[in-house]
Structure 1
Amino acid sequence: MGQLKGIKILLVDDEPNILQYLELGLTNEGYEVCRTLKKTDNASVIMLTAKDEVDDRVKGLTIGADDYMIKPFSFEELLAQIQARIRNQFPNLFGEVVVEDFRIDDRRKEIRFESRVLELSSTEYELLKFLILNQGLVLSKAMILDKVWGYDFGGEENIVEVYIRPMREKLNDREHRLIRTLRGAGYRLDIP
């Protein structure tokens, strides 16, 4: 986590106990907690809220949240979300990102798996990178389309399936143990 020195995280909550819990947990992970909000173009917002209705989530995402987690939440999941946001927003901080058997070199647009370079199109590269950086999390087709193809993509959601199939072949994942399909929910990359 040393390469993340200087990354600031603003915590806002109406429950002091939750703020203390988050501050302690994030400080122990090596983050410097920001006490004042500075105007910046590089801000990401993860909303933590007890409001779990679809309308509440839609409103939160519409007003600018990048992600939305419902209380009670797992600290480990929140930490993974923060790390994924930082990796996605500041890839140059990392140079080469290593996640288990994967090595992502964003400067070369290259992904290695088990020491071999995968032959990937630019879309396959972005899709696999998104799955790796969010490994362990369920990613809906809509979320994948938004992050990989862009919000203005006018095609069908099935394009995700079209790209997942050959990617599994390139990863020798014939039994779908690495890239799992969760019916009705999306996909999750599980690294054994």
Structure 2
Amino acid sequence: MRILIIEDEIKSAEYLKKGLGDSGFQVEVANDGIDGLFIAQSNDFDLLILDVMLPGIDGWGVIRRFRERSQVPVLFLTARDAVEDRVKGLELGADDYLIKPFSYAELLARVRTLLRRTPMRQQDIVEMADLEVDMRKRRALRGGQRIDLTNQEFALLQLLLQHQGEVLSRSQIASQVWDMNFDSDTNVVDVAIRRLRAKIDDAFAVKLIQTVRGMGYRIEAPLP
């Protein structure tokens, strides 16, 4: 999913871009309100992360004009913590408001929450860390290396990526990949995950497929 960050603090913008990129998002950055508004209106994004204090046009002006043409979620990220500022941002159409300084983990949680509220667009290319998956051509690359997957392995990887960051239970996976009811005595899901992990993760330092004990599995890039 695509995110636009409009932030004039260069280091903060680059930190967010790297973190969100490593978490599987496609990220672009603008460092002033004029460029940010133009990029936001000229491209399809799934989320805007918007600072208030911007050169050119401030965040209030950006969201006011952006809301004339789009209902894409907007997360305000700013040091302005007065109640009246938060109220103003929400009244202008912001979907959430996060005060600086913030933890990256909280930002990521809020980003995912906002994105879950909107219908997911089917992407042709999904990237996470150095994994690249072409959904249309059903092709996967890791670190530039082609990974050969069976139809069921690709379906499993596709399901995990469509719900990246979310824990999927064995029954959810079984019902969507194999169209079967999960039997607790059957280890088909665990075996499939183990085979997929052998191809996707074993030869690489960064592990993407994670086991959440007692709950299920998820795919997620580690926090920077």
TM-score (norm 1): 0.53
Distance across 2 between alignment mates of 1:8 and 1:125: 33
Match of 1:187, SS state, is strand
Native 8 Å contact 1:173 1:179 kept in 2: no
Match of 1:24, SS state, is coil
Q: Does 1:3 align with 2:44?
A: yes
Q: Does 1:77 align with 2:118?
A: no
Distance across 2 between alignment mates of 1:109 and 1:148: 15
Out of 153, 156, 165, the residue aligned to residue 183 of structure 2 is 156
Partner of 1:61 in structure 2?
none
Native 8 Å contact 1:135 1:191 kept in 2: no
Q: Does 1:179 align with 2:220?
A: no
Distance across 2 between alignment mates of 1:183 and 1:137: 14
Distance across 2 between alignment mates of 1:148 and 1:82: 24
Distance across 2 between alignment mates of 1:120 and 1:168: 11
The one-letter amino acid of 2:208's match is L
Count of residue pairs the alignment pairs up: 130
Distance across 1 between alignment mates of 2:131 and 2:206: 17
Q: Does 1:107 align with 2:136?
A: yes
Q: Give a deviation string over 1:19-65, Cα, whole Å, max 9, x none.
A: x58x5137xxxxxxxxxxxxxxxxxxxxxxxxxxxxxxxxxxxxxxx
Q: Give a deviation string over 1:72-118, Cα, whole Å, max 9, x none.
A: xx5323134347x51xxx42xx3222232222212211121221121
Partner of 1:133 in structure 2?
162
Distance across 2 between alignment mates of 1:154 and 1:100: 33
The one-letter amino acid of 1:3's match is D
Distance across 1 between alignment mates of 2:112 and 2:137: 29
State the Cα distance separating 1:125 from its structure 2 match.
0.3
Distance across 1 between alignment mates of 2:198 and 2:71: 40
Native 8 Å contact 1:180 1:187 kept in 2: yes
Q: Does 1:120 align with 2:120?
A: no
- CA 1:100 to 1:172, structure 2 compared with 1: closer, same or farther past 3 Å? closer
The one-letter amino acid of 2:94's match is L
Q: Give a deviation string over 1:159-185, Cα, whole Å, max 9, x none.
A: 110101111111243899432211211
Native 8 Å contact 2:174 2:182 kept in 1: no
Partner of 1:35 in structure 2?
none
Distance across 1 between alignment mates of 2:70 and 2:169: 28
Structure 1 unmatched runs, 5+:
10-16, 27-73
Structure 2 unmatched runs, 5+:
3-42, 47-68, 73-86, 97-108
Partner of 2:127 in structure 1?
98
Distance across 1 between alignment mates of 2:130 and 2:170: 24
The one-letter amino acid of 1:121's match is T
Identical-residue share of aligned pairs (%) = 28
Native 8 Å contact 2:201 2:208 kept in 1: no
- CA 1:111 to 1:156, structure 2 compared with 1: closer, same or farther past 3 Å? farther
Q: CA RMSD in A?
A: 3.6
State the Cα distance separating 1:135 from its structure 2 match.
2.3
Which is greater in Rg? Answer: 2
The one-letter amino acid of 1:136's match is G
Native 8 Å contact 1:168 1:176 kept in 2: no
Native 8 Å contact 2:174 2:181 kept in 1: no
